[in-house]
């Protein structure tokens, strides 16, 4: 049985350029839109997200990314209306780790939509959704030269642990509003 779609995570936001974007949980029918998003990413952005550059996001990866249980695995997409239909322009997600109350997060925003406030909105949406599902700690692996993401995490979260190894910064963090006694 498919898990219930968490409609309560849907919302409309306005970005710094006045564009209106819809944030919502990912759905299985988003797989093709994820492939299309990857095709629009610069090599630099794709590398910062996946630590490698692929000619194309493999369709089987897109299927896995688009199919989540909304509890242990969850993704929030940012979409906009275009004359051709809906385009996904950003994704924030979490995946399970070995720790029951810790998940790994990852984010990507299409190049033309970076710097408009979408990254912080996706971070907040993913952290809130995780916290509502009992998740207290988040882990991210960020390339050391991805200054924008490191700055975002440093400013918008409470970093508990930070390690640099082989050019990758491993961060363990929680929401700044999280009660440390919880």
Mean pLDDT over 82-108 rounds to 92
Q: What percent of the chain has pLDDT over 70?
A: 96
Strand partners, 141: 170
Classify residue 4 by burial, with Cβ atoms within 10 Å: 0-12, 13-18, 19+. Answer: exposed
Residue 165 resides in a domain: no
Q: Is the pTM of this model over 0.85?
A: yes
For the chain, what is the domain count? 1
Mean pLDDT calculated for residue range 65-92: 95
> What is the CATH classification number for the domain harbouring 12?
3.40.630.30
In a domain, 18, yes or no: yes
Indicate if the pLDDT at residue 181 is higher than 50: no
Q: Which two tokens stand for residue 120?
A: 């912080």
Range of the structural domain that residue 105 is part of:
7-136
Buried b (16+ CB within 10 A) or exposed e, 94-108: beeeeeeebbebbbb
Q: What is the rounded distance in angstroms from the CA atom of residue 19 to the CA atom of residue 152?
A: 21
- The tokens describing 127, both together, are 């952290």
Q: Is residue 87 part of a domain?
A: yes
In a domain, 162, yes or no: no
- Measured CA angle at 40 (ends 37, 41), to 5 deg: 90
Question: Which residue in this structure is represented by tokens 């200054």?
Answer: 147
Q: Which range, of 65-74, 94-103, 150-159, averages the lowest pLDDT?
A: 94-103
Share of the chain above pLDDT 90, in %: 79
Assigned domain for 27 exists: yes
């Amino acid at each position: 049985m498919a898990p219930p779609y968490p409609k309560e995570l849907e919302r409309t936001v306005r970005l710094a350029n006045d564009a209106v974007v819809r944030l919502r949980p990912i759905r299985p029918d988003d797989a093709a839109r994820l492939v299309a998003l990857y095709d629009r990413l610069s090599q630099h952005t794709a590398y910062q997200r996946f630590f490698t550059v692929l000619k194309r996001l493999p369709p089987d990866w897109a299927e896995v990314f688009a199919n989540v249980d909304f509890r242990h695995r969850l993704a929030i997409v940012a979409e906009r209306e275009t004359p051709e239909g809906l385009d996904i322009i950003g994704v924030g997600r979490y995946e399970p780790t070995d720790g029951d109350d810790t998940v790994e997060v990852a984010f990507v925003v299409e190049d033309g939509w970076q710097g408009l406030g979408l990254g912080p909105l996706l971070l907040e949406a993913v952290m809130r959704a995780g916290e509502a599902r009992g998740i207290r700690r988040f882990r991210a692996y960020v390339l050391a030269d991805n200054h924008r993401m490191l700055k975002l995490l440093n400013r918008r979260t409470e970093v508990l642990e930070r390690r640099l190894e082989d050019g990758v910064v491993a961060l363990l963090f929680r929401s700044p509003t999280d009660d440390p006694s919880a």
